[in-house]
Amino acid sequence: MERRFEWDVDSESVGMRVDKYISGCSLGLTRSAAENLAAKGLILKNGKPAGKSERLQAGDRMQLTLPEPEALTVAPEAIPLDILYEDDDLLVVNKPKGMVVHPAAGNHSGTLVNALLAHCGDSLSGINGVIRPGIVHRIDKDTSGLLIVAKNDFAHQHLAQQIKEHSFTRMYEAVVHGNLRQDSGTVDAPIGRHPTERKKMAVTNKASRPAVTHYEVLERFGAFTHLRLRLETGRTHQIRVHMTYLGHPVAGDPVYGPKKTPDLGGQCLHARFIGFIHPRTRQYLSFESALPSYFTAFLERLRRI
């Protein structure tokens, strides 16, 4: 069944491109998904099909049609899940390192989505399409920790809106190379595709999106620093890119870290804490995940040294 949405553009969004505006709305759509909808004529501005690069004016009337979800081609797989919380609207999952969140080229099985389909059946939101049912936000394959999954579109929209408004708290812990000068700080630097290495992201002003990461030093070890980090935005590889931009890449990072690095058994980046307002009960919920064993073992090694 098609779903239709309609709203007026506010003054803060004047001048934005249609695709960027739609991806920033509370529907949880990616920019590429917004581009595809525009190409199919499913985004209207003042009653006429809107091109993805059109600029918005205050008071423009936007209409969006989400087509009926395609038949699901991702197979359910009985993969054990570490579920911290579950109800009829959502669940909170503790993802292990090494697990990809959703199927993509080279990873068609063994993903979190495959496991969720086996656990939830048809009870997952469809806003992000058949490849990413229920996925409101993601963490990297080699990052462990907490993820929230929406079981219906109502929950998905409310949770995505909290992320957009920065009221959805996501705290990470990481060990990074080097000794940061300040005990706390903020990295406010836009992130986009790396200009020459297309599988990497980078701080750049070209085709980028705003990205803000707050950090606080927990422990110092000279050659390494243990940090707590809070995401204000959620760009691809955000913490890894921002720490590399500061000259302090995440320990064990196989992509952004130094070529010669100790074998830690994993990347020392863990989604430790999430907090949000439940979309239906309006109750504040928060969850914390213990650091994985390879992470704590490396911290103990550094303390002994």
Q: Which residues are identified as catalytic?
A: 140
Give the separation between CA 258 and CA 249, rounded to whole angstroms. 8
Look up residue 76 and give its two tokens.
Answer: 């359910």
Give the separation between CA 51 and CA 43, rounded to whole angstroms. 8
Q: Reading across the β-sheet that carries 48-49, which strands appear in turn?
A: 3-8, 61-66, 43-45, 48-49
Reported as type and span, the H/E element at residue 20 is: helix 18-23
Distance separating the N- and C-terminal Cα atoms of the chain: 61
Q: Which CA distances in Å does 21 have to 52, 159, 162, 233?
A: 10, 17, 16, 15
Q: Strand, coil or helix: what is 293? A: helix
User: Which among 195, 228, 235 is positioned nearest to 211, based on CA atoms?
Assistant: 235
User: Which among 197, 269, 274 is positioned nearest to 237, based on CA atoms?
Assistant: 269
Look up residue 7 and give its two tokens.
Answer: 């709203």
8 A C-beta contact, residue 247 and residue 256: no
Look up residue 271 and give its two tokens.
Answer: 């989604």
